[in-house]
Amino acid sequence: MIGSVQRAMRLLEAVADHGYGAPAKQLAREVGLALPTAYHLLRTLTHEGYLRREKGLFFLGEAAERLSGSATQQKRRGMVNDALAQWRDSIGAPVYYAVYREGEIEVLGVADSPGIPAAEEWADFRETGHAHALGQCLLSQLDEEARRDHLDRYPVRPITPYTLRDNRSLLRRLEYLEHAEPVVERQEYALGTACAAVPLTTGATAAAVAISLPSHQADRLLPTARRLQSEIDRLTGTLAISISI
C-alpha cells in the first residue's frame, strides 16, 4: 500500500464529513496525522482541485464533486442494467431501454444473452425511430411540435416492405396510440423480427423499454409486452430508476 495515498484519502473522507468545513488542526487530529504532514497533503489536494480552502477551513473541491457525480451516475446506470437483466430473465426476451433527449433517440441499455440475442442495429436507431417500436413509443410521448421537428430531421423512409411509407402515416398512427399501451411493430425495422415497447413514466423525460422476438413468435409479443409492463410497474418504485442518467 502507498501510505501517502492512504493518508490523503483519509483526509478527503474527513473533509467530506464536515459540511461546513474544518480547519487543518481538526482534520489532522481526526485522522491521526502530524500537523505538518496534514498541511502538506491538504495543500496538495487543494492544488489538484480535490479540496478548496476558505477562511482557514477546508471543503471538498470541484474535482471531488465531479468524482461524486460520476459515482452517482455509475450507480444509476448499474441499477438500470440490473433491472434490464432481471426483466430479460423474467420474460425470456431481450430488453432495451431508450430515452428521447435533446432531440435524439438514445439507446442507453440492452440486456440479452447468447440464448436470446438482441436484434442487430443494422440501420441507425436515431434515424429510424419511425420504424422500430422504441422510436414510435418515444415519439408518441412528445408534443406535436417536437414530433414534427424530429421528422423534419429524420423523415420517414421505408427500410423494409413493412415500414410506414411517409410522415403522415406515422403521425396518424401516433395519434391513435392509447396512453400507456404497448407499441407493437412487426418487421418494420428488421425482417424476421417483431418488437413491442412500453413507455417508462418515471421522470419528465420521454423514455421506453422494449422487447424483441423472432417474427414466427409474434403471437407471444403482446402478452410478453404486458408482462414486461407489470414487471416495470413492480420494480421502478423500489429501484427508483433515473431517466436523467
Mean pLDDT of the chain: 87
User: Cell 413514466 sits at which residue?
Assistant: 201
Helix (H, G, I), strand (E, B) or coil at 57: strand
The pLDDT of residue 167? 95
Mean pLDDT along residues 70-74: 54
**pLDDT, tens only, 8-50:** 889 988 998 887 889 999 999 999 999 999 999 999 999 988 8
Model confidence band, residue 64 (pLDDT cutoffs 50, 70, 90): confident
**pLDDT, tens only, 216-228:** 999 999 999 999 9
Model confidence band, residue 236 (pLDDT cutoffs 50, 70, 90): low
Backbone dihedral region for residue 203 (phi beyond 0: left; psi -120 to 50: alpha; all else: beta): left
* Closest CA relative to residue 102, chosen from 46, 58, 54, 146: 146
The pLDDT of residue 77? 67
Residue 159 identity (one-letter amino acid): I
The pLDDT of residue 177? 85
Element (H, E) at 124: none
Q: Which residues fall within 8 angstroms of residue 31, CB to CB, at 6 or more apart?
A: 7, 10, 11, 14, 38
Query: What distance in Å separates the CA atoms of residue 139 and residue 150, rounded to the nearest whole number?
Result: 8
Contact 211, 222 (CB under 8 A): no
The pLDDT of residue 73? 58
Query: What distance in Å separates the CA atoms of residue 200 and residue 42, rounded to the nearest whole number?
Result: 45
Contact 194, 215 (CB under 8 A): yes
* Closest CA relative to residue 229, chosen from 244, 215, 213, 208: 208
* Domains of the chain and CATH, by start: 3-60 (1.10.10.10), 71-239 (3.30.450.40)
**pLDDT, tens only, 182-198:** 999 999 999 999 999 99
Residue 10: is it exposed, middle or buried by C-beta count within 10 angstroms (0-12/13-18/19+)?
Answer: middle
Q: Is the pLDDT of residue 74 over 60?
A: no
Q: Is the pLDDT of residue 71 over 60?
A: no
The pLDDT of residue 168? 94
Residue 92 phi/psi, 5-degree rounding, is 70, 40
- How far apart are the two ends of the chain, measured CA to CA in Å? 34
**pLDDT, tens only, 91-128:** 999 999 999 999 999 998 999 999 899 998 999 999 99
Model confidence band, residue 240 (pLDDT cutoffs 50, 70, 90): very low
Residue with more model confidence, 191 or 205: 191
Question: pTM to 2 decimals?
Answer: 0.69
The pLDDT of residue 238? 46
Query: What distance in Å separates the CA atoms of residue 42 and residue 52, rounded to the nearest whole number?
Result: 9
Element (H, E) at 233: helix 221-239
Q: Which residues fall within 8 angstroms of residue 24, CB to CB, at 6 or more apart?
A: 35, 38, 39, 42, 56, 58
